[in-house]
Amino acid sequence: MIDNAQASNPFRWSVDKGQADFDVRSRFVTSFIYDLPFKSRNLFAEALLGDWRLNGILTLQTGTPFSIAAGVDRSLAGVGLDRADFVGSGAVATYNDRERNRKVAQFFDTSVWALPALGTFGTSGRNIIHGPGMQNFDASLFKIIHLSEAKQFELRWELFNSLNRPNFLNPITSSQSSAFGRLTSARDPRIMQIAAKFYF
């Protein structure tokens, strides 16, 4: 698959063979609904505290892959998609298991990359490193108030990313950027909303 339908090397398309941008190696999703077990003989307490439900969706997944860009048009081909030269040995080290501050400051080993020589397109492959994964828990609490057999009123309190966990996007990949290798963006923080529905 070729990014933006444009080959990084228009003279040799085969160098763009690699993992798709949306390749997620592992993904686990589960959900639940739980009726809160409150019962009371007090009609006011039953009306206020009864018939509440809790539900949630848990998503765990690995990150998506990315390439290391040269950051400048070293091939002089006018395309601007040159990749950096890989000057290390073995697999590229990533630091996803580090504490958050160190991981944000440097997600992968930035010392094994160099600018390609003028007139060349870079030696590193396409999408050879996987970014940080995602751990997300959405939850909601809702209550159904039965007005008649056919009519009911529902109150909902919904939380997206309820644990307010930072789920980082892929790092800066341009080898010429001052932020090369840093995590500078993330998915949405906790978002809450309150809703009401009337069924008839």
> What integer pLDDT is reported at residue 46 of this predicted model?
65
Number of domains in the chain: 1
pTM for the whole structure:
0.81
pLDDT at 49 > cutoff 80: no
Please give the residue range of the domain that contains residue 74: 3-199
Greatest mean pLDDT range, 6-10, 16-20, 53-57: 53-57
pLDDT of residue 37: 79
**What mean pLDDT do residues 174-197 have?**
95
At residue 4, the pLDDT reads 56
pLDDT confidence of residue 3: 47
pLDDT at 79: 84
pLDDT at 2 over 80: no
Q: Give me the DSSP letters along 28-55.
A: EEEEEEEE-----SSHHHHHHHSSEEEE
What is the mean pLDDT of the segment spanning 63-90? 92
Q: Which residues contact 20 (CB under 8 A, 6 or more apart)?
A: 1, 65, 127
First to last CA, the chain: 50
